[in-house]
Amino acid sequence: MSDKEDDRDELDQDYMSVDEDAPDPMVFKIRRSLGQPIAQSFTTEELHMRIHNGEVDLCPPYQRDVVWPTSKQMEIVDSIYHNFYVPPVIFAVVEDEDGEETRICVDGKQRLTSIQKFFDGQIGYRDPDMRKIWYYTVSETTRATRNEIPEAGKRLFAEKQITCIEYRGLTAAAERDVFQRVQLGMSLTSAEKLQAIASPRADWINQLEAKFITSDDGLHNKFEFDDKRGRTFQNLAFIAYCCAGLPEQQAPTVQKLDRWLCSDERPTAELQSRIELVLQTMWHLADDKKLNTAFREVKAKVAPVEFLYIGVILYVMRSKSHSDEDRADMIHALRRAIREIFHDIRLNSNVCRVCWEIVGLIEEGASVEDILTVAAKQAAAPVKGKRKKHTDDDAMPSSPKKAGPGRRKRTKTAAD
């Protein structure tokens, strides 16, 4: 059975029209189809108003970030003005308890965002003949430097029709499946594909992201890291996956994470509370000027692999026998050590191996000086290609036992 069939089987029970009869292989029948979508047309002005009123949701968890550059956003405005074909927007229409409808944008976020930004004066329309840029909205502070579109030109754009395909009654799983199928021809990142998974574990990771990352005072305001195109979802999922696998040291690969997220098994209450504690501690350390040396003194943006192993270190140091100062020192040592050893800080097998070895050293009671001394030995080894070479003599002492490729046993801590 293919992976695609596996995915469909997991979603079958959540689809709308399920045939209860035993399937007859000799009978042609369409099973598990979605409800028939309806095509509607809205003016650009209506869509803009609905976005600002909260009647259109541009940011469901599986959606991509805004990835179109300004030039491409301006091109779609040009296409609308000149009546070129613009692909339909796809909505999943849902009703709340009061009967109020919200249109969830399953496909077309980049187009709708471009329309919204044009109306709001954030991007302009470039006259292809005069090479002059005109703006729909001009503020008092920019009126002297920006050309405002006359009322007739504004009305021309506001009355342009955009075709929208609307599904009603979709389950969350079916909604995500529509998104994935529409995106087959698009270039989605691996993180965005993970974010589109519908499962109890994926739902939990989305909740963690909303609570600890994207909230008003979330981690994205405490230190700099890549939070675009599903990256934070992937980072949080990797932390949960690796911590759930302890004492095995799981190799953090997208393929393994995909399988883990697709499981219909719910995360245990114990794992949920422990990961929440990890993220609360990360926030506290980053927020406290006395404890945030790992983020303040290492000037570089926190790489995804660093974000992951900061989480793992805080997980294995979660017991009360460790102070916040201890935790802050160790994540600082992690960042210094791997940057001492590697030129490129990437989520690959070499960097992850060293990070797991640092975790093992921490569990065995090594000091910051121990970790940095071993890192300095590795850094002094001859350089091979872009990555500094590791030798057997200089290798960090790993935990005693190994459990197959990519996995190393670690000793249990008092916190387990």
Q: What percent of the chain has pLDDT over 90?
A: 40
When pLDDT is cut at 50, 70 and 90, the band that residue 382 belongs to is: low
Residue 185 has pLDDT above 70, yes or no: no
Residue 294 has pLDDT above 60, yes or no: yes
Are residues 76 and 111 in contact, defined by beta-carbon separation less than 8 angstroms? yes
Lowest-confidence pick of 11-15, 70-74, 130-134, 153-157: 11-15
For position 386, what pLDDT does the model report? 45
Cα–Cα distance, 270 to 354 (Å, whole number): 28
pLDDT tens figures, 261-275: 988 889 999 999 999
164 vs 33, residue with greater confidence: 164
**Mean pLDDT for the chain?**
82
- Which of the residue ranges 186-190, 375-379, 381-385 has the most confident prediction, judged by mean pLDDT? 375-379
Residue 172 has pLDDT above 50, yes or no: yes
- Who contacts 51 (Cβ-Cβ below 8 Å, separation ≥6)? 58, 112, 116
Are residues 317 and 330 in contact, defined by beta-carbon separation less than 8 angstroms? yes
Residue 388 has pLDDT above 60, yes or no: no
- Whole-angstrom distance between the N-terminal and C-terminal Cα of the chain? 38
For position 123, what pLDDT does the model report? 95
Residue 409 has pLDDT above 60, yes or no: no
For residues 58-78, average pLDDT: 88
* Full DSSP string of 196-219: T--SHHHHHHHHHIIIIISSTTSG
When pLDDT is cut at 50, 70 and 90, the band that residue 195 belongs to is: confident
pLDDT tens figures, 226-261: 877 788 899 999 999 999 988 988 888 888 998 899
For residues 170-186, average pLDDT: 78
175 vs 147, residue with greater confidence: 147
For position 188, what pLDDT does the model report? 64
Q: What is the pTM of this model?
A: 0.56
For position 395, what pLDDT does the model report? 39
pLDDT tens figures, 302-331: 999 999 999 999 999 998 888 999 899 989
- SS3 category, 399: coil
